[in-house]
Chain A
Amino acid sequence: MSSELTASVPPGLLLVGQPNVGKSVLFHALTGRYVTVSNYPGTTVEVSRGTAQALGGLPVLDTPGVISLPSRTGDEHATTHALLGEANATLLQVGDAKNLRRTLQLTVLMAEMGRPMLLALNMIDEAEARGATVDAAALAAELGLPVLPTVATRGQGIDALRAAIPRAAVPRFRLEYPADVESTLDRMAAPLAPLGEGCGIAPRALGLLFLAGDGELEGWLEGRLGEGTLDTLRALRDALQLESTEPLAAVLQQTRMAAAERIAGRVIRQAPQAAGSFAQRLGARAVHPVWGWPILLAVLYAIYGFVGEFGAGTLVGLLEEDLFGGIINPWFEGAVRALVPWPWAADLLIGEYGLWTMGMTYALALILPIVTTFFIAFGALEDSGYFSRLTVLSNRSFSKMGLNGRAVLPMVLGLGCVTMATLTTRILHSPREKLIVTFLLALAIPCSAQLGVVMGMLAGISFTATLIWFVVVLAVLVTVGWLANRVIKGRRIPLMTELPPLRLPAVGNVLTKTWARLKWYLIEVIPLFLLGAFILYVLDRIGALPWLIEAGEPLVTGWLGLPKEASAAFLMGFLRRDFGATGLFAMGAALSPAQMLVGIVTLTLFVPCFASLMMIVKEHGARRAALMVALIVPLAFFLGGLLRFALAAAGWGQ
């Protein structure tokens, strides 16, 4: 292998494998670095890096799952990219022991990459529970590479795996493809050889990916091969395709699957299957056209009970009224008044827009308990495998928006954090789906922090208010999605998705995940809250706030029917929607229930936070991001005004 090219970068360990097989759990076990682990395919959508201290600081990379190569979606491209980019990295394929055929189909491709390789056969526990036993030693002999049984979630087999990594060698395995494919591969080997040296991938494997039409590889080659050479390769591929009635990628895939089938047949023992377990039966009920709905309602009700009543009711009551309102704030205000001689400085801390009275109190006493309970409920659901069932249940509704049920994943994740969810749109198949979902996320999906404030405020009005808010936002989502489907050209892609087994959420993982998300909230959201309070304070001090409030009056008072002071809330909404909502909350009794509801709905539909805006720019470009904002702001105000008149006509909450 080449030496100068790779001398500077020590070769690392690349975790590859199919979606939802436990790569990220293993990554955590090897590096100590936590990346999100959830029970649905498509959790990891970006490459993450860490180092394994126990292996002498070996760099380890976690990648998004690929069912097979060539890569077809954005997250899969990231995996091919890592494969091509990490020169000479050792490959650690993580496979699902209970789905051995599917696992091996990828192994027989990876084994020809010309890289040192091992196979971790994970989820041995689930395989055994279903009566499947795999002879790891026989499999290792068949493939010519180390095979290590693991149960990543329980740490079983990790030590043996760690010990085997430094000893991994390039597998002695070669799969014989149909004769015409083989001869084309031979002819492609020469032009691909110099590149193979550079990235440490066997030219034969590059050829296989090229024949299958891997989009990421094609782009990578364009930058490295002369046009002439690339044209020669394409001509070879086209000639081979002409000889076959089946698409080349399918021919290659079928060869690999047939080989996997043969090997699996020799190493696996499957005891006769007992009737489905309770989890399997419940899983089937959850996607049942009739049973599915009561189950969904029960899940929603449980979330409402835990987050809405326990979090937003009990916990907020304890923290906001008793702890902050009754003890901390009076004491703090007294201390500030006594110790800070300058009124402007005291105001900065404890005034109307004070950093403490407004910023910290809302962030810690009002929102923190709500997001914490939400994150716990959400993490448990993510681990249960229920979200994938929602994919099936919601498929019909999403088809009206030109999407399929897969879109439910980024949408639901958006309820956690819209920024992350925007990144997760990578799991969707077409740019069109990505665009529609990104727009809907930006418009109508409130993130956890905002949901926290909104829930707290709505619960303070009435259950009817909560219901109106929910129905209005949902109606906007569906209508705008329906319109987007008509406006944005392209065809809809039918649903195809894997339904992972329902599992009991692991308490440890749910808590780790909750803590990771809380850190995000504490580190990224709270400073913005403080910044928001500070900006308002400054604007108020320099006398610009009254002027801005006057300027906003026609829109805020004339159209939305709110007191003109509410302009300040919308101003804060540009920073973060939830902060804007908090601004409304601060006005409290000055607003009638109807005004409050109009304000909340408008802010729910308002511009997404700065971080998610940046993510939209990154994924879709500045032009589209600007266009989205230009559509969203007027739309939010327009719909808010409509709601005002509708509520007035109905005589609700005046």
Chain B
Amino acid sequence: MKHKPHSHSVPHHAGSPRTLRQIDPGSAARVAGFAAGTASELRERLLAYGLIPGQTLSVIAQRPVTVIQIEHTELALEDTLAACIEIAAAH
């Protein structure tokens, strides 16, 4: 298999798409996809909660961890995981 389990974090560098980590609390965002190299298990779970491309979510907090609301579920994600979720450009 090409994908190692548990390789959660991806380094973030300038010029790459915006991630969930950079969205201000209190605002909504649209999911674009997952950063390359996001672990399979993490993708599965996030997908199961409804984080598929095109879906909107709202950001409740960014500290101490990222808290988002999708449908009526609140989900807490540590920063390395939030950085795996890419956000579509504002429209």
Contact = CB atoms under 8 A, between A and B. Distances in A.
Given A68-B45, A491-B6, A496-B42, A393 B64 contact: yes
A287 B71 contact: no
Given A102-B50, A250-B43, A395-B64, A497 B71 contact: no
B63 interface: yes
Contact of A496 (B1, B45, B74): B45
B81 A241 contact: no
A72 B73 CA distance: 21
A474 to B, nearest CB: 20
A100 interface: yes
A382 B77 CA distance: 22
A257 B47 contact: yes
B22 interface: no
B72 interface: yes
B40 to A, nearest CB: 3
Contact of B71 (A100, A391, A395, A405): A100
Nearest to B77: A496
Contacts of A162: none
B72 A254 contact: no
Given A392-B64, A496-B45, A99 B78 contact: no
Contacts of B80: 494
A496 B75 contact: yes
B64 A250 contact: no
Contacts of B65: 287, 392, 395, 495
* Highest count of chain A CB atoms <10 Å: which of B9, B61, B67, B74: B74
Contact of B76 (A102, A106, A495): A495
A261 interface: yes
A126 B48 CA distance: 21
Nearest to A490: B6
Contacts of A499: 67, 74-76
A283 B71 contact: no
B8 interface: yes
Interface string B39-68: 011111101111010010000110111010
B48 A98 contact: no
B71 to A, nearest CB: 5
B3 interface: yes
Contacts of B55: 261
Contacts of A246: 43
Interface string A128-140: 0010100000000
Interface string A388-411: 000111011000000011000000
A238 B8 CA distance: 22
Contacts of A106: 48
A418 B55 CA distance: 42
A393 B48 CA distance: 25
Contact of B52 (A130, A241, A261, A393): A261
Contacts of B61: 284, 287-288
A247 interface: yes
Interface string A281-292: 001100111001
A644 interface: no
Contacts of A170: none
A5 interface: no
Contacts of B91: none
Contact of A102 (B44, B71, B74, B78): B71
Given A247-B43, A250-B40, A99 B71 contact: yes
Contacts of B77: 494-496
A496 B48 contact: no
A249 B81 contact: no
A501 B71 CA distance: 13
A544 interface: no
Interface string B1-22: 1110010110000000000000
Contacts of B64: 287, 289, 292, 392-393, 395-396
Nearest to A261: B52
A62 B78 CA distance: 31
A501 B60 CA distance: 14
A67 B75 CA distance: 13
Contact of B60 (A254, A284, A497): A284
A247 B36 CA distance: 11
* Highest count of chain B CB atoms <10 Å: which of A106, A246, A292: A246
A101 B76 CA distance: 19
A130 B73 CA distance: 12
B6 A493 contact: yes
Contacts of A494: 8-9, 77-78, 80-81
B27 to A, nearest CB: 15
* Highest count of chain B CB atoms <10 Å: which of A67, A250, A391: A250
A498 interface: yes
A253 interface: yes
A404 B78 contact: yes
A586 to B, nearest CB: 45
A510 B55 CA distance: 38
A498 B48 contact: no
Nearest to A246: B43
B11 to A, nearest CB: 15
Contacts of A289: 63-64
A185 to B, nearest CB: 18
Given A250-B43, A499-B74, A287 B2 contact: no
A412 to B, nearest CB: 17
Contacts of A493: 6, 8
A496 B71 contact: no
A101 to B, nearest CB: 5
Contacts of B6: 430, 491, 493
A105 interface: yes
Given A67-B45, A101-B71, A392-B64, A496 B78 contact: yes
Nearest to B42: A496
Contacts of A395: 64-65, 78
B23 to A, nearest CB: 16
A287 B64 CA distance: 8
A130 B71 CA distance: 11
A498 B73 contact: yes
12 contacts: A67-B45, A68-B48, A98-B71, A98-B72, A260-B50, A284-B60, A289-B63, A494-B9, A494-B78, A495-B77, A496-B75, A497-B76
Interface of B: 1-3, 6, 8-9, 40-45, 47-50, 52, 55, 60-61, 63-65, 67, 71-78, 80-81
Given A126-B72, A241-B1, A247-B2, 13 more contacts: A72-B44, A102-B48, A102-B50, A102-B73, A105-B48, A127-B72, A132-B72, A257-B48, A261-B52, A287-B61, A491-B6, A496-B77, A499-B76
For the complex of A and B, 8 pairs with smallest distance between CB atoms: A247-B40, A68-B48, A494-B78, A98-B72, A499-B74, A250-B43, A253-B47, A495-B78
